[in-house]
Amino acid sequence: MSDPSTAGAIPVEQSPPRRKARFHLPYRFEIDSTGRESPWWMTIVSIALALLVCGVFIALNGMNPMTVYAKMLIGAFGSSFGITETFVKAIPLLLCGIGVSIAYRISVWNIGAEGQFLAGAMAATAVTIYFPHLPMYISIPFMVVASIAAGGIWGLLTAIPRTYFQVNELITSLMLNYVAMLGLNYAVFGPWKDPKGFNFPGSPMFTAAQSLPTFGTSRLHMGVVFAIAAVLLYAFVIRFTRWGYELRLIGANGEAARNAGIRISRHVLVVMIISGGLAGLAGMSEVSGIAHRLMYGISPGYGYTAIIVAWLAKLNPAGLVISSVLFGGLIVGGYSVQTIGLPSSISSMIQGAILFFLIAGGMAGKIRLRRNR
C-alpha cells in the first residue's frame, strides 16, 4: 500500500553522482626491470660527484681541493717511483677484483675477499716456517699452491652453507673475514712470533729463496705476472668457453639456466673456490713480494677495496685493470698528501664516496621516463 502523504506528488529525477575530476600527468617514472646496465657515462658522473663531495670536506678542513687532488695525482703518477708503487698496490687489488668479479657473474655476493686474502697470506707463511730450507724453485711454487688452496677453502666455507642450507653468503663471507683476521693475530702474537723481532707482532723475515723476485731496484715484484696472467685467463674463459657462457647465462637469468639443465649449485661451489683462490694468491704476493713476513695489519683493506674495483669495472677484464690501477694510485696518492698536513685516510674517504655514488648511479640509471597515454 502506498503512503498517503506522497499521493499526488510529482516524481523528481535523481541526478547521477558526480565523478571527481582527475589530474593526469603527461609523464611518469618507472623502474626498469629488464636487467640492462646503467650507461657508461654514469660511472664518470659517479666519480666526479664523489670527488666534488670529498672536495667540500677538504675545503672545510682549510685546504684547497684542487691542490690536494693535484698532489695525489703527482704522487701516484708523476714519477717512476710513484708509478711502480701504484702498480705494486694494484697487484692485490686486481687479483682480488678478478675473484670478486667471477663470483658476481653468477650473482654470488662474495664480500669475503679480505678473509681469503689473509688465509692465503697465512698459508704462504706456513710454508716458510715449517719448510724453511727449500730452494726457491720449490719454495715459491709451494707457497703459490698453498695460498690458492687456503683461499679456495675459505671461499668454500661460504659456498657450502649458501648451496645446501640457503644461508645468505653476505653474512657468512663477512663473518669469515673476522675469523681470518683473528687467526692472523693469534699467529703473529703467538706461535709464529719472531723471537728476534723486539716484541714486534710478526713472523720471522723471509729468506731470499722465499721472496718473489723484483724488477730492477723497484719494489715491483713477480706478482704482477700472476695478476696479468689471471686477468687474461679470466677474459678468455668468460668470452670464449662454454663454462664462461654458462656463468653469463646464470647471471642474466638463473631460472632459464636451471631450465636449460645447468647445475647452478655446482657452479657456485667452483666459482667460490676460484674466487677465494685468487684472493689467497694476492695474499701470498703481498707477504712474499712486499712485506717479506706475516705481520699484524698486513692488508690495508685490499679485499674490501676490490669490491669497489669490481663495481667500477662492471666485471669487465679491461675495466678491472684500469680500476685497480686507479685505486692503487689513490692509495699511493693518499700517502703523498701527508706532506701537506692531511691524513692518508683521505683515500679511504674517496673510495667510500665513489662506491656510494656508483650504487646510487646504478639505481638512477634504472629509472625511465614514460609518457602517459
**Helix %, strand %, coil % for the chain, to 5?**
70, 5, 30
Confidence class of residue 20 from pLDDT cuts 50, 70 and 90?
A: low
Cβ(213)–Cβ(221) below 8 Å = yes
Cβ(286)–Cβ(299) below 8 Å = yes
Q: Which CATH architecture has domain 88-342?
A: Orthogonal Bundle (1.10)
DSSP state letter for 341: T
- Output the pLDDT for position 1: 46
Distance CA 13, CA 201 (A): 96
Q: Quick one: what percent of the chain has pLDDT higher than 90?
A: 72
Distance CA 289, CA 147 (A): 14
302-324 confidence digits (pLDDT tens): 999 999 999 899 899 999 999 99
Structure-derived torsion over alpha carbons of residues 47, 48, 52, 58, reported in degrees to the nearest 10: 50
258-278 confidence digits (pLDDT tens): 998 999 999 999 999 999 999
- Please name the residue ranges forming H helices in 78-168: 80-105, 113-130, 136-165
Cell, residue 82: 710513484
Is residue 153 over pLDDT 60?
yes
Q: What's the one-letter identity of residue 365?
A: G
Distance CA 198, CA 200 (A): 5
According to DSSP, the residues that pair with 30 across neighbouring strands are 368
Q: What is the pTM of this model?
A: 0.88
